[in-house]
Amino acid sequence: MKNKYGLSRSIPSEVKRQIRQRSKFGCVICRTAIYTYEHINPTFINAREHNPDHMCILCNNCQVDSTNGVLSKKKIRDAYNKIQESENVDDPKRKGFFDVYERNLTVNLGKSSFQMFHSVINIDGKDYLSFKPDPDRALSYVINGLFLDHGGSELFRIENNEWIGNTRQWDVDLSSTNLTIRRSKGNIMFSASKDPVSQSISIMHLNMWAPPFHILIEKGNLLVGRCDIKRKKMIYFFISGEFKYGTCALYLDSMCRLDSDFTAELEISGGDGAYIRGTGICIGRSFSSANISAIGVYPSDENFLSNELNIEGSTQAKRNGQQIFILGCLETRLVKFPDWEEVEYYLYGYKLKYKPASWGVVSVDDKSGRVIELFHIDGGVKAQLEDAEGFIGYWADDFVNEHWAKNVFECYVWEYTEDGKHRVRVKIKDISDREIAEEINPETGQWFHPHEFAGVPVWKGKKRIFN
């Protein structure tokens, strides 16, 4: 939108910084820390430029009063001048909500807690809610949020505490320990509280639409809704757990289509996250440690569909008897998100959920330098890779007699050092002239191997006699 002089509402970042600094990082009238930029005199409709001398920051409530004539431009100008000239101005940090004094921030979504995550909610690689370190003030945070209606149209957004959008229909109530955003009386879209002792922010109420997802926090429960395959109703998933040190608390992928015969099966990949299979919902992306207490499924946000599932052992159960072995050259791609970077792994153009386990290098192309490895992969992706050129099979038996088998299987040899004689595990091809300590695994009657999935046997047969 431009005014009659062609001036856009888009304000250069350097001008914004100057206005924030001159306004001492808060509304010049009430010192609220969530704000919008206001042309004082001339007003925006008559302005030819965005000039920090004639602009300040106001909270959305004071901006509405200014637009309606309740708050005069003279009063705003006087307040702005006083703030710039005085050294004893009430600082927004006295309202305190965004000042947490340490960087070890924990964000609670309902009954789930997330300690030291870069983003709170990210959908398709875009942040919808995050608390970031304030670039202008040490030991403080700023809020970033994008709020949409049922159809996916933007209602408003907050960028580094700057309110962007229509301020007339919203009410923002900010105190030292609470932040509440209402769409209308009794219609709360977002509310959060801060506990300075535990260095945590708890989101107590959230009503966020981002089709095909609906994120709802109500009465201490985190519900993530997903449209069913016919896009006629929402199916909600209840999540509860404790996560530490990751990239994103709640990561949603709209490209993952919800199957009509979905099951609320939790799939946990080390260093990747906890996924509800077939939904595009990931909790605690790239976490270092997690304790998941409960997960449930609802046909709506009110009715309970099934009993909460027992999570313990579910990851091992789903993998029972499922694995594949494949030869290939692993491709890596660096993906940049708003607040973090991740490495993606591909085999034959198929994106893997995590870096696959390599049993060893089989060959190296002298000209291109391409490294071909034998990869051992969770069978959850076998449908996508069974037709790939390098597919070997489902068991170690399928390649034990290949000419490159000694590149991947292992045994124990003796090594002598100043400290004495030690057993060392090496690839068969690297035995050289060293004395073999143990060639066959007594538990399987087979060669030793470098990796296996918990609960999934590598060998199809039991005992095997080698040629």
Q: How are beta strands 200-210 and 187-195 bridged, if at all?
A: antiparallel
Q: Which helix (H) or strand (E) holds 327?
A: strand 323-328
71 C-beta neighbours (distance < 10 Å), count: 19
Q: CA-CA distance, 415 to 449, in Å (whole number)?
A: 20
Q: Which helix (H) or strand (E) holds 314?
A: helix 314-319
Average pLDDT over residues 383-387: 77
Say if CB 97 and CB 33 are below 8 A apart: yes
Read off the pTM: 0.59
Average pLDDT over residues 59-83: 90
Q: Each residue of 73-125: pLDDT tens digit?
A: 999 999 999 999 887 776 554 345 666 545 578 899 988 999 888 899 999 88
Q: Each residue of 298-309: pLDDT tens digit?
A: 765 444 333 333
Q: Each residue of 35-52: pLDDT tens digit?
A: 889 999 999 999 999 999
Average pLDDT over residues 234-257: 84
3-class secondary-structure state, position 398: helix
Instruction: Give the per-residue pLDDT at 258.
Output: 62
Q: CA-CA distance, 355 to 342, in Å (whole number)?
A: 11
Q: CA-CA distance, 87 to 323, in Å (whole number)?
A: 67
Q: Give me the percent of the chain exceeding a pLDDT of 90.
A: 29
269 C-beta neighbours (distance < 10 Å), count: 17
Average pLDDT over residues 228-250: 80
Average pLDDT over residues 359-371: 90
| Phi/psi of residue 449, nearest 5 degrees | -135, 155
Select the more confidently predicted residue: 466 or 260. Answer: 260
320: nearest Cα among 165, 453, 430, 418: 453
